[in-house]
Structure 1
């Protein structure tokens, strides 16, 4: 996947990804740098080191240039290419959900809330719609030089949300001259085209002129893909959800059961088909999965400006970044869901009415939603030497604002109810007739802010027999706010899932003091000790230590180990999440009137799920342990393996809808009759401390540089992660459930993921053949096995005079389509869009010219 270099073992031992440490360190120590920067700070440590030193934590470093050559165009794609990442929340999650189009990272599959995302070593504000993590879309790929990934608990270094690891995006230090680039992706099938243009300009040489300023602008557009354009998204099976909200309309009688539609059995295939359920009810069922856009339309604009000034032994820099991501989704025409009633119904006495209407506004077309997320960050830094100590100080402000608009296909509930009362026919095929009751406009907005200041120093302070002892000390202060607001349109518009919502807001402050020491214990044995004290204004305080050691008995062998504890305070979103009542993703029997489907008027339909924050949450506490070995039997071969284990106590989360509705007796206290939709119930699933989560696994890597030949240089590389155990409790002191290799509680955990690559270079030419692989797993229902998913990318690059580079290639070379899945958690059906790309084979062309 990456163009790895051959290296000395002393360099290779610090990295799990087999990437040259010298290579990435030189990104900050080029001729364009100042003399004080020959020591660099490495992700996972506060101590600055010489570029020839290494550390003992499992780490992966990737150059984004190498991944861009595979046709990757977004930070989300880069993160998803990491074997250690198992994210279930990407851009496609916006289809049929109010996520603001966010995309998150999840190292070890622990969850986005346990992965700390940094930009140049400092925090970024969390996305406010699901405000427990950083939206990867906020980071423009075009200005990122490399990505450093610490696959180990780092709470003692960075604080609360580094339990699962750290992903640090490092921007380019400086730039000179004008650079223009472009990228075009053409899928073999309809939809999903991509266009990207970037331009940057830099002026000044840090080493010669003492200053540099550069700016960059990037524009990226991805076209949507519709279900009708992909067979795997429209394959009708026994698991395909048929909605009772149909066009032509169905009705409910006074007992709440579905009655025959006036047009049954002459429905409106292929979207509306005749249904006879297990209880003998006859009605029209809508195949809602045939309608939606299975991937959104995404338009992103980003700007970046950075200025750096050398002041003797000090360096002052200012950085401003702004990214706006416009995410537009298409889902099935609006279902009435029984939220409006008709005074009459086919075959029913008017005296028994009114009758809830389970119709669908098909004449208005798909529901179209638009979310715009705007993230800004201003950061001021001062670093250098002070009385012989390396220091780094900074102050920054970042904010994220997300708005959600209804574009088309939505209806005013009050206006439609008035029309039905006055004789409007819900089977009216006229778009103009339905259009009288349509509504558009913003229904919600959310905002989060982060103000942060920090100061730290480090120095080699004491000569020991085995080497110099180095130490670091630091302080940090943060203030966070979050708010989520809804307006009257959110309450009145049907089928937004926001009809019963309350606005919410919150704020808090946090302070931290931390220290770290590198101790050469004896020859070949080094130890690193770190400790951090965090105090939150709303969640108490905690002290968390970490110790890591490395032992290198010979130049060809190194052992490493680490142990740490962690503390994660509930996020502001966990505490202040607005209360929402939304339809469930799947269909269930009413657990009050029809427990387990037993009753006289039972039929499966979408029920309701009430979510919200909890001000009584307790902090999570964690412990982590790892042990690894790195071998270099010959200079061209490097192998490594790291065993790791993480335990999280008092895990914060919400019960998945399926867990609640499929265990009605156990969770009877969570159910209450719906006061809005007759015949349905509400299940309360607010944020809670669910219990413990225990995860363990193995990371492996391999790199082999073949002997040089007239054909060029070849390097084979492998990064893989195996999850041996993923046990979780759904309630304190409750039963442990295994999620490894199976779909449970809303998503699967893949036992094995790997990235395999073959890199070739010869003069001005280079090429990459890379594979991303995910193992199969047991699906959501009936022990169905989802097949493994493997995609290969192939590309070739030519560089002319170090100014012009052209890359041409194929993404998903063998046209691997998503494996079939019977999950019903997401709006797209027939596969799981969170883990498989619906695009299929795509051809791309990328060019960049430096003037």
Structure 2
């Protein structure tokens, strides 16, 4: 929506630190000698060089500049042109010389900033907004929206990295501002909602996959770091990411890029094309399309350094975690057998070894023979296998591509319409490790045996206890996701009112395939009938393998269909200028279906998820902007939403912006927000996943352990399934947010802002605490009301002792509260030197002060630790994230160096252990692997350069992780082998080179 103004005098547009001026049409205009606009990222601020105005330089400016730039600041002062006197101090001759002719009238156009429904020229609202332009994206070297957005320092705990292939939402990437998970950050495209990824995170959280948004068509990305339910409704508790696509394009622009890792693997290819024609002012139309394609090859862990390529941690003071040791109830692809009897006659699942174990065949295929001395049960030889080295991947194969087309027609100066259509496909092929014959759930096969006469049983007339991994059955996860989106939008003016009406339809659908999973019934049939050959797997036919491991295929989809209508206008004059008003209504249809992942518990060792739901949501909102004084602005907004079966909600927000001086602005907001229960939390949906834990580690009392004689049944970790079901009685999550910030522009070349945030959520939707139910069972032998438990087969050595749980579940509940506070810092400086060199420096950082949660009456703190463990996949909540970009431009050359920093984390997580103590037990004598129980901080840098050969051709090159920095060792993260893929992925990839070319006609 646009509101055009024509000013014939010399002017500048009000920025967050601009001088007080006259307000015309809701826009503050400042009269100066001339204006030059240069746009930068991070801060929601446009840069202006005031040729006829000298801005104040004070001690604060000098200290900030010194911190940011060091000696460069002095050079800039020395080489900057002398500033002219302020306008009110110039002579009439100077003023006449500076004044432009009336024929040079300037046409100003307003934009709508994310978080506000009012169009404005002064883009600085009371809320903090980071703006990332297409030029910023090019300087970063990133080729996906997910990489761009997740580099924002405010993205923290709960974010979903593309490299987490074993998660519930494999093949996706999501943003979690303020560490409040992906379902509390709203992602928009051109201000409109988008469909959720067809797979939900952890079986509960719906979110928008950033990898299905076309980067080639992006004009800019606005990141609102404030609550915005008063405008957008549900989910905008932590903030909003608004990806804004190009409104028009003329000409042809394309790019091609290839890259590769210095250490092998990860070959990268990327190509884009944007072409358009038509001038809206002269032709009354514009049409353009964009196309992009990207492919990344896998990176094997075997190509990376120790210890990240191994499960044998003895070289760094840890244990040998290679598979194959029957004492740890796991097997290698060679397998072992031991003579055995059945604890329960006729039940092949109750084998008890009666003699030493031995390999099924010689230790080949990268395995190593290991002997446990002795002659009785629990002794013998096995083939140790390093799954990390042999099967591990740091990066999997991905292939993505899409098309975007947009047609815009301008009816007249006030009315225009556009139609857009996009299609995007994203494919992932993620290889896994071979499935084990041993599994705790849903059927315990840890003590499975081969009957006498089975072709793989070497003990005549005896049963054989077997440990084995199915190396001849490849294990992989494949996702093939399609995203189709269409938009119709009409903008215009009717009388004094500006209006916009739009209809958007968005569907994502996916085929989700799991290969290599073991069917419980198929396994039993193969063992009973002797059809699968464990001793010589090469002899197994494809049909035999398929009977043991049939493919698991699910077809999932998600829909988002939205109608929006909004209006805005000026109302009446106040002391600071005209008041503005905006209002809108929204109707949307949401639906999601995620087919059951493991129907009927067919597959061993596989969790389960089933998501279903559809609803029609309606909302109405309004915003009122009041310039109370020349230097004081108040903005108030509110939204009323109706959700079926959830009820009604009203979300208000108020913001203030005060400029006590021409170079400083103070801003603050207070808002209430909400998040309606998503489909994964609603009736009919459920989810179940696994944690590795021992009965002893679950807090069982000494009496329970003694009943088992402290056997492996209670002391060795096993797979415990934890389940949660949708609850129709859930209440929405509610939030209260407060921000307060300071923005300064003490000199024309420096801008800085610092913003404090404070968010408190109540009625937090969480799974019921399984630890409470487990402890009650171990102490009393009963199951708490509201919980469901399933139990394991008896302990072979103590068959009459109490059974251990293999499943514990309950409905989702509304918990108590969580709170997070912190501060964001943005610094920007821009220098133009006399010799034609331009230098731009931008620093962005986020410091979290606290991240606390009330869990069953106990307040747990996670900031600076690897908690919340389950929520973050063990990635944790780093206290500090920051990046510092420095760009030098000289003629056709441009070079940008960016440093990224993530602070250290203490290796504890209260949500798992209930204590702040370190819980890493991989070190000597069961202690921490790191002596101080701390995962170190991680700092790395990227270089991106370009050379403009002529007006049509530009060459590009970049080096990621220039210093080839290795990731810090992280023994707790369960999404990768000894490193943190959420924050330290660049370290495992290592130095990576890219070269490319861009053409423009």
Q: Is the 8 A contact 2:113 2:123 kept in 1?
A: no
SS at match of 1:639: strand
CA, structure 1 residues 128+612, in 2 after alignment: closer, same or farther (shift >3 Å)?
A: farther
CA contact (8 A) 1:245 1:286 kept: no
Counterpart of 2:490 in 1: which secondary structure?
Answer: strand
> 2:582 is matched with which residue: 466, 472, 480?
472
Query: Which protein, 1 or 2, shows the higher relative CO under an 8 Å CA cutoff with sep ≥ 6?
Result: 1
Q: Alignment partner of 2:136: what SS?
A: helix
User: Any gaps of 5 or more consecutive residues in structure 1?
Assistant: 1-6, 24-34
Instruction: Give the aligned partner of residue 848 of structure 1.
Output: 998
Q: Return the TM-score normalized by structure 1.
A: 0.89
Q: 2:358 aligns with which of 237, 242, 262?
A: 262
Structure 1 residues 56-455: aligned runs within 5 Å? 56-86=126-156, 88-92=158-162, 94-130=164-200, 132-231=206-305, 232-235=307-310, 236-237=312-313, 238=318, 241=321, 244-247=329-332, 248-249=335-336, 254=343, 259=353, 261-263=357-359, 274=370, 287-290=386-389, 291-312=391-412, 313-338=414-439, 339=443, 341-344=448-451, 358-364=467-473, 366-407=474-515, 409-423=516-530, 427-433=534-540, 435=542, 436-438=544-546, 439=549, 441-455=551-565
C-alpha separation in 2, matches of 1:763 and 1:593: 70
Query: Of 790, 801, 808, which residue of structure 2 is paired with 1:673?
Result: 790
- Give 1:488 shift: 8.5
Deviates more, 1:171-180 or 1:390-399: 171-180
Equivalent residue, structure 2, for 1:614? 727
* Contact kept in structure 2, 1:274 and 1:282, CA below 8 Å: no
- Residue 761 of structure 1: how far off its partner (Å): 1.1
User: Within 2, Cα distance between the matches of 1:305 and 1:21?
Assistant: 29
Q: CA deviation at 1:609?
A: 2.7
CA contact (8 A) 1:721 1:753 kept: yes
Which residue of the partner structure matches residue 3 of structure 1?
none
In structure 2, the CA distance between the partners of 1:663 and 1:44, relative to structure 1 (3 Å rule), is farther
- Give 1:763-778 correspondences, 5 Å limit: 763-778=891-906
Q: Deviations over 1:644-697 (max 9, x none)?
A: 100000112337989988998699745733469997611326533232110000
Secondary structure of the corresponding residue to residue 362 of structure 1? coil
Answer yes or no: is the 8 Å Cα contact 2:679–2:685 preserved in 1.
Answer: no
Residue 604 of structure 1, CA deviation: 2.1
Query: Which SS does the other structure have where 1:687 is aligned?
Result: strand
What is the count of residue pairs matched by the alignment? Answer: 823
Considering only CA atoms, is the larger Rg found in Structure 1 or Structure 2? 2
The answer on whether the counterparts of 2:533 and 2:539 sit within 8 Å (CA) in structure 1 is no
Q: Is the CA contact (8 Å cut-off) linking 2:476 and 2:514 kept in structure 1?
A: yes
Structure 1 distance, partners of 2:793, 2:191, is 48
Question: CA separation of 1:118/1:658 partners in 2, compared to 1, >3 Å: closer, same or farther?
Answer: farther
Structure 2 residue 873 is matched with structure 1 residue 749: no
Q: Is this contact kept in 2: 1:544–1:567, CA < 8 A?
A: yes
Q: Which residue does the alignment assign to 2:748?
A: 635
For 2:256, what is the secondary structure of its paired residue? strand
Distance of 2:686 and 2:371 partners within structure 1 = 35
Q: CA deviation at 1:636?
A: 1.2
Return closer, same or farther for 1:577/1:710 CA change in 2, 3 Å cut-off: farther
SS of the aligned residue for 1:617 comes to coil
Q: More strand by proportion, 1 or 2?
A: 1
Change (3 A) 1:554 1:701: same
Q: How far apart are 1:766 and its partner, in Å?
A: 1.2
Report the alpha carbon displacement of residue 467 of structure 1 after superposing the two structures with TM.
Answer: 0.9
Q: Name the CA shift for 1:580/1:573 in 2 (closer, same or farther; >3 Å).
A: closer
Match of 1:727 in 2: 852
Instruction: Give me the TM-score of the superposition, normalised by structure 2.
Output: 0.76
Aligned residues of 1:176 and 1:214 also touching (Cα < 8 A): yes
SS at structure 1 position matched to 2:149: helix
- When residues 434 and 597 of structure 1 are mapped into structure 2, their CA distance, relative to the original with a 3 A threshold, is farther
Alignment gaps of 5+ in structure 2: 1-10, 19-39, 49-105, 324-328, 345-349, 796-803, 909-919, 921-927
Structure 1 residue 466 displacement after superposition: 1.7
Q: Write the deviation string for residues 350-390 of structure 1: whole angstroms up to 9, x where unpaired.
A: 999796x54210233x4122111111111110012121212
Identify the match of residue 595 of structure 2 among 485, 508, 520. 485
Q: Distance in 2 between matches of 1:282 and 1:100?
A: 40
The corresponding residue for 1:30 is none
SS at match of 1:420: helix
User: Match of 1:784?
Assistant: 933
- In structure 2, do the counterparts of structure 1 residues 431 and 334 end up closer, same or farther at CA, with 3 Å as the change threshold? farther
- Report Cα offsets for 1:306-363 as digits up to 9, x if no partner: 11111122111111111111011011111122455434499999999796x5421023
Q: Is the 8 A contact 1:525 1:550 kept in 2?
A: yes
Instruction: Pick which of 679-688 and 127-136 moved more.
Output: 679-688
Deviation at 1:192, TM superposition (A): 1.2
Query: 1:242: how far off?
Result: 5.0
Could you tell me how far 1:637 is from its partner in structure 2?
1.5
1:564 is matched with which residue? 671
CA distance in structure 1 between the aligned counterparts of 2:855 and 2:266, rounded to whole angstroms: 38
Q: In structure 1, what is the Cα distance between the partners aligned to 2:190 and 2:178? A: 22
How far, CA to CA, are the matches of 1:398 and 1:185 in structure 2? 33
Shift of 1:68: 3.0
2:86 aligns with none
Once residues 504 and 317 of structure 1 are traced to their aligned partners in structure 2, the CA distance between those partners, rounded to angstroms, is: 35
CA drift of 1:588 comes to 6.2
How far 1:533 moved relative to its partner? 0.6
- Cα shift at 1:77: 0.8
Conserved? CA contact 1:16–1:59, under 8 Å: no
SS in 2 for 1:324: strand
Q: Could you tell me how far apart the structure 2 residues matched to 1:795 and 1:227 are?
A: 27
Give the drift of 1:139: 0.6
| Alignment match, 2:114 | 43
For each residue in 1:47-87, what CA deviation from the matched residue of structure 2 results, as whole angstroms up to 9, or x when unmatched? 011x2453221110011332333321111111121111125
Q: 1:496 Cα shift?
A: 4.0
Say if 2:736 is the partner of 1:623: yes
Q: CA–CA distance in 1 between the matches of 2:46 and 2:304?
A: 44
What is the CA–CA distance in structure 2 between the aligned matches of 1:622 and 1:271, rounded to whole Å?
54
For residues 195-242 of structure 1, give each alpha carbon's deviation from its aligned partner in whole angstroms, at most 9, with x where no partner exists: 011122212111110111111111110111122122242243236755
The Cα of 1:414 is off from its aligned counterpart by 2.9
Greater alpha carbon shift after TM alignment, 611-620 vs 248-257: 248-257
- Distance verdict in 2 for CA 1:470–1:807, change over 3 Å: same
Deviation at 1:846, TM superposition (A): 2.5
Q: Label 1:730 to 1:429 Cα distance change in 2 as closer, same or farther (>3 A).
A: farther
Does 801-810 or 767-776 show the bigger shift? 801-810
Alignment root-mean-square deviation, CA: 3.5
Q: For the residues of structure 2 that align with 1:694 and 1:720, how far apart are their CA atoms?
A: 20
CA contact (8 A) 1:411 1:493 kept: yes
Q: Distance in 1 between matches of 2:772 and 2:108?
A: 54
Given the superposition, is the C-alpha separation of residues 606 and 8 from structure 1 closer, same or farther in structure 2, using an over 3 Å criterion? farther
Contact map agreement 2:884 2:900 (CA 8 A) in 1? yes
Of 784, 796, 808, 2:945 maps to 796
Q: Secondary structure at the match of 2:815?
A: strand
Helix, strand or coil: the match of 1:137? helix
Q: Matched residues in 2 for 1:717 and 1:605: separation?
A: 49
Rounded to whole Å, the distance in 2 between the matches of 1:849 and 1:422 is 65
